[in-house]
Amino acid sequence: MRTAKGPSPAPSPTHNVGEGSESAGEGSAGATWARAQHRRMASESSVGLAEHLFELVNEALGQRMVDGFAVDAREFLEQLALARG
Cβ atoms 17, 24 nearer than 8 A: yes
Higher pLDDT, 69 or 28: 69
**Phi, psi for residue 60 in degrees, rounded to 5:** -65, -45
Quote the pLDDT of residue 76.
94
pLDDT at 10 over 70: no
Quote the pLDDT of residue 26.
53
pLDDT at 44 over 70: yes
